[in-house]
Amino acid sequence: MGRSIHRKIVAGVFTAFLLLVSAPAAHASAPSPAPKPPRPSAKPSPSPDLKLITITGAGITAPLTVSSASDQRVFALLISEVDWLASRTSVLKAPAADKLGPKYTVVTTVNGAAKQTYDLYPAAAGGPRVFRPQAQPDKRKVTAAWFYGRLSMPSSLRAVGVVLGTPGPNEGGGGGGTVETPQAEPDIEAMVGDWQKFVGLNGAVVVVIALGVFAIAYVLRRRV
């Protein structure tokens, strides 16, 4: 009986030993859980369009370029001189060539593709002028047209680096992109003359009315 108990003890110890040995192997062979797929990253926002303005013309040895990314203030000044002309119509006649002064050609591009082109005449007699050629880089259909430019055109060109003469007294104003109304100094003599004509006309009307009243009163008095 003692041997039987001894055998059972040995068998139990052996069984426990086998369990201890096989446990790490079973644990090692267990498949590891599949890794979770990474969360999709947020969609990157599209980069803004890179807009450029290139200026060539009188006295400019190398083209001047203004970027909407690095020169936002100057770019805004210059684009305001031409962006309102993209689809405008005008009945303005072409000015005399000897009254235009120096010409500066402006070309706008978006992401490397040329879009619009205009010829600017900041020193034209009677105020700045702008010419829009019929042939545009983006092939859109427009007619060739002349426009009165904004009074701020010379100062905008100076901000880019164009060398012009001494700033005039009217520079710096917007003008709002007027198309058919020329910007000129008020004619004081004409204003005085118009005022004199107005006063003289009113005086003549008063005299005529007074004579008419006097005639009616005279007729009525004779009848009485």
Is residue 181 situated within a structural domain? no
Within this chain, do residues 56 and 146 fall inside the same structural domain, yes or no? yes
**Residue 65's domain spans which residues?**
51-160
Looking at 145, 160, 175, the residue that finishes a domain is 160
Shared domain check, 151 and 196: no
Q: Does 204 share its domain with 133?
A: no
For residues 57 and 103, membership in a common domain is answered with yes
Q: Say if residue 137 is in the same domain as residue 218.
A: no
Do residues 57 and 111 share a domain?
A: yes
Co-location of 121 and 215 in the same domain = no
User: Which amino acid does the sequence have at 187?
Assistant: D
Per-residue pLDDT of the chain (224 residues; tens, 9 = 90+): 555 655 655 556 556 555 554 555 444 455 556 666 666 555 555 567 899 999 999 999 999 999 999 899 999 999 999 989 988 888 789 999 999 999 999 999 999 999 999 999 999 999 999 999 999 999 989 999 999 999 999 999 999 999 887 665 555 544 444 443 334 444 445 454 555 555 565 666 666 676 776 677 766 666 65
Q: CA 176 to CA 171: how far, in whole Å?
A: 13
Query: Among residues 191, 156, 181, which one has the least CA distance to residue 55?
Result: 156
Assigned domain for 33 exists: no
77 and 126 share one domain = yes
Alpha helix positions (H), the chain: 2-29, 72-79, 153-160, 188-223
Is position 108 within any domain?
Answer: yes
* CB of 107 closer than 8 Å to CB of 119: no
As for how many domains the chain has, the answer is 2
Q: 152 and 204: one domain?
A: no
